[in-house]
Structure 1
Amino acid sequence: MADLVKWCLYIVYYYGRFTGLVNFEIDLKTGRTRVTKWATIYAAFVQIILFTILFYHTLGIRFITSMWVKANLLHEYVFMIMSVLRILCVLMALISRWFMRRRFVRLFNSFRRLFQSNPEAIQYCRMGIAAKCLCSKATEILQVTIALVIVKKYLTIHLVLGIWSVVSLTAIINLIITQYYIAIANIRGSYMLLNKELRLILSETQSLIPNRRGVFVTKCCHLADRLDIIARTQSELQDLTDRLSKTYEVQIFWMAISYYLNSVGSIYIMFSFGKYKNMVEDWPLSVVVLGVAYFLFFYFDNWINMYGVFELSDLHAEMLILMEQRTVLLPCLDNRLEAAFDSFGLSLARNPFKLRFFGVFEANRSTLLPWANSLIINSLFLIQYDMQNF
């Protein structure tokens, strides 16, 4: 499994370089990063070519009309708005990468140091990383397969370039989210190790025997030193999480808009396939099967993303619960250990753990319900408008 995670990380890096998302070089043997002229020129060239082809196909309508001959005007508007806004969202996300390239390099170096100081943390998140990479690649493969099957009668070099550009756009979106997920997973694994160590400290503290004074004081000092290391590591992890959120906040903002608009449009399009059967009557059964598989992988991928963020918040909440257990410890602990518990508890209370973006939006379960509610309402609005006017 460790080798599988290593290959997943390699694929994410090389795929990022190939699509132009990663605009700096990483030495995979040493982990050192370099901003080189070749990496800059290649990334800029690939992105310019990609968006030139995308805007040409989207605004030229040729690729769209070949797939939507039997669609009504609302379908064309929805598809056009989805396509243009999806392109603009990815474009803004990539522009932010150029302006913050140095910050991304420093952030990667911080995560490299975190991994080197705590390599066993990866074992707690390897399944999530492997599943995330598998789902991302599956959605891309299914998307290109569906497109090729639908337009195989009209397949030309011009159309192949259009499909390539759309799939490349999906790949960039998946890569941005995958990079963020891997970073969160690394922090999550480190938190799991801290909670495991904190449980051991609490258990050993409860088993102390105050009557043996010399041994008692020595053990208390040793436990206090270990608790100080946990407190320092937790503070560093929280600071790293804040830096990660601030570095990715522009990209996460645009990716959230892209996911939201495409989800609304996709729900309406699926409704249309049921209402206007003539739209898909020429499609083979394999397209339906592949389409179902695509949506299953797509929404499972979204669930993995949300689970990773929510679990990190849960792990911090678990740490707070563990620290509350200190109230049932021996009433006569050594002053050094008492001070370590007090300092750590005060630090946790003074710096609450929150995944914020732009200092306002917070990623937690309470924000998920309004988002889902808005998604359903706007999808129903499109469906209602279609039923009333077409």
Structure 2
Amino acid sequence: MVLQLWMSNIVHLAVTQHYLITLSVRAQYHVLNRELRQVVEESRVLSFQPRRRGGFMTRCCSLADKVENIAKVQSELQSIMNQLGEIFGIEGLMLSGGFYILSVATVYFIYSILKCGHESLQLSFISMLLSFTLCFFSFLDAGINLFNILNLLDDHKKMERLLEERTVFAQTLDVRLEQSFESMQLQLIRNPLKIDILKIFQITRIAIAALVGSLIQHSIFLIQFDMEYF
């Protein structure tokens, strides 16, 4: 029991570190998206104004510097997430497999209680309540971590959409500013943000929906087997 408790604390510490780092990266993405939105809006307004040589060039160079700085920080944040996936890959695989088995077992446990009653399973009301409380907080913890990752991916897609708005500018801006926008856009296209578990399972909303469908399917198979043979 001491060894099991020690291993459990290590896994939970790793999950907490992963959550905090991902949350920090997501907060930085929020700041970058806000800054990029301001740059895009200023560039749009600038494209409708008459081109005065001195002021126009100065403003375009200032905006180009901001875009390049945003692209640099974004590349560093994406590098952090890639390193995070490599460091916590084994823990992620263990937790994913554990929660998958726990989900199927929880569904079957609820079915068994509804079918036979907790007395026939030799479960007291207190032990049953503690079991459901533990499962609830385990699933809540997993859900918070999962939605934190999915929201980070949404913030990355929002950055891509912001860069696509440069196509509606009224006229061609300074060459350096145009190149800065194009360079950052190519950076996101060539190196998209992907969060996976040991290159086995990529975390996306579609993949999570497929996983939930698989959980429901295996739970139904297990209940059907119980109904037929027990």
Q: TM-score, normalised by structure 2?
A: 0.89
**Residue deviations 1:66-97 (CA, integer Å, cap 9, x gap):** xxxxxxxxxxxxxxxxxxxxxxxxxxxxxxxx
Cα pair distance change 1:318/1:165, threshold 3 Å: same
Aligned partner (choices 203, 210, 216) of residue 363 of structure 1: 203
**Residue deviations 1:248-290 (CA, integer Å, cap 9, x gap):** 2122112211111122122212221222222356614x44444
**Residue deviations 1:273-316 (CA, integer Å, cap 9, x gap):** 222222356614x4444444433333222221110110011001
CA contact (8 A) 2:60 2:174 kept: yes
Aligned partner (choices 204, 207, 223) of residue 63 of structure 2: 223
Once residues 288 and 176 of structure 1 are traced to their aligned partners in structure 2, the CA distance between those partners, rounded to angstroms, is 29
Once residues 130 and 93 of structure 2 are traced to their aligned partners in structure 1, the CA distance between those partners, rounded to angstroms, is 30
Equivalent residue for 2:124? 283
Matches within 5 A, 1:172-321: 172-208=10-46, 209-277=49-117, 278-279=119-120, 283-284=124-125, 286-321=126-161
Superposed CA RMSD in Å reads 2.1
> Whose RCO is larger (CA < 8 A, sep 6+)?
2
**Secondary structure in structure 1 of the residue aligned to 2:51:** coil
Q: Which runs of 5+ in 1 are unaligned?
A: 1-161
Once residues 282 and 293 of structure 1 are traced to their aligned partners in structure 2, the CA distance between those partners, rounded to angstroms, is 15
Corresponding letter in the other structure for 2:19: Y
Once residues 171 and 379 of structure 1 are traced to their aligned partners in structure 2, the CA distance between those partners, rounded to angstroms, is 29
Tell me whether 1:339 sits opposite 2:182 in the alignment: no
**Residue deviations 1:126-154 (CA, integer Å, cap 9, x gap):** xxxxxxxxxxxxxxxxxxxxxxxxxxxxx
The structural deviation recorded for 1:174 is 2.6
**Secondary structure in structure 2 of the residue aligned to 1:207:** helix
**Residue deviations 1:211-232 (CA, integer Å, cap 9, x gap):** 3321111011011001000011
Tell me whether 1:328 sits opposite 2:172 in the alignment: no
Equivalent residue for 2:216? 376
**Secondary structure in structure 1 of the residue aligned to 2:88:** helix
Matches within 5 A, 1:46-57: none
Aligned partner (choices 349, 354, 357) of residue 189 of structure 2: 349
Cα pair distance change 1:282/1:236, threshold 3 Å: closer
CA contact (8 A) 2:29 2:156 kept: yes
Identity of aligned residues (%): 35
The structural deviation recorded for 1:166 is 5.0
The structural deviation recorded for 1:342 is 1.3
Once residues 232 and 328 of structure 1 are traced to their aligned partners in structure 2, the CA distance between those partners, rounded to angstroms, is 24
Q: Which runs of 5+ in 2 are unaligned?
A: none
Q: TM-score, normalised by structure 1?
A: 0.54
Equivalent residue for 1:152? none
Matches within 5 A, 1:95-114: none
Once residues 264 and 172 of structure 1 are traced to their aligned partners in structure 2, the CA distance between those partners, rounded to angstroms, is 24
Once residues 355 and 273 of structure 1 are traced to their aligned partners in structure 2, the CA distance between those partners, rounded to angstroms, is 38
